[in-house]
Amino acid sequence: MEWYVYGRGSSPIRIVSKKRRFWTKRTLLIALSIIVIAGLLWCAYALNNINKAATTDPMQKADVGIILGMSMWGDEPSPGLKERLDYGLKLYQKGMFPHLIVSGGLDKPDLQYTEAQGMRNYLVAKGVPDSAIYVENEATSTYENLLFSKEIMAREGLSSAIIITHTYHGWRAHEIADELGFVNPELGLTESTVLSMTRHKTREILAYTKWKLQQLFL
């Protein structure tokens, strides 16, 4: 039973309306707080996973090294992409794999080379035989990098791979490789001295979130 106080300028309708607005605002505030807390917890979980990625140790020799693409600066690989290429080149020279797949599509319509073509040109200039490099020119995401690289592996009879990228990118790359059915994929990860980790790890949290949503709904 509700009790109403009658007085000048007041009515039961106004009192009930105020109570409803109060509880509506309180409910919305509680819901918003729950969403914010859940979001912060998710970001902490994602960042923890991102920070756990590490180069496979001990690393086993594989059929191929897959270097994941990154942006081009004109006709040249960007400084960040050069870090991946240099690390992949180091592993190749150590004899960890006899073949390389370079993967990445066109950054901008006006560029002369795709990421993969720019990567191939860089490696050839460093002494890698052109015949040792498979070029994958279509990928526009990490998922496509690995999906299209796996298709090249199947076509060429290659069964094992070391995935080469930056450390902050390694966890998601490994999860995607597992999802695509790579057999015991290894990671070859390099730290960056040229990239802002605050910026790239923030972007990676968003990319990892998108990937987990794709897993959940698709």
Instruction: Give me the tens of pLDDT residue by residue for the chain, a chain 218 residues long.
Output: 444 444 455 555 566 566 677 677 888 888 888 999 999 999 999 999 999 999 999 999 999 999 999 999 999 999 999 999 999 999 999 999 999 999 999 988 889 999 999 999 999 999 999 999 999 999 999 999 999 999 999 999 999 999 999 999 999 999 999 999 999 999 999 999 999 999 999 999 999 999 999 988 87
DSSP state of 195: S
Task: Note the pLDDT of residue 2.
Answer: 44
What residues pair up with 99 in beta bridges, in sequence order? 64
Element (H, E) at 34: helix 12-52
H-run or E-run covering 102: strand 99-103
Residues 103 and 18: their CA atoms lie apart, in Å, by: 61
CA gyration radius for the chain? Answer: 26
Report the pLDDT value the prediction gives residue 5, as an integer from 0 to 100.
47
Q: How many of the other CB atoms lie within 10 Å of CB of 196?
A: 10
What does the pLDDT read at residue 45?
96
Q: What three-state secondary structure class fits 76?
A: strand
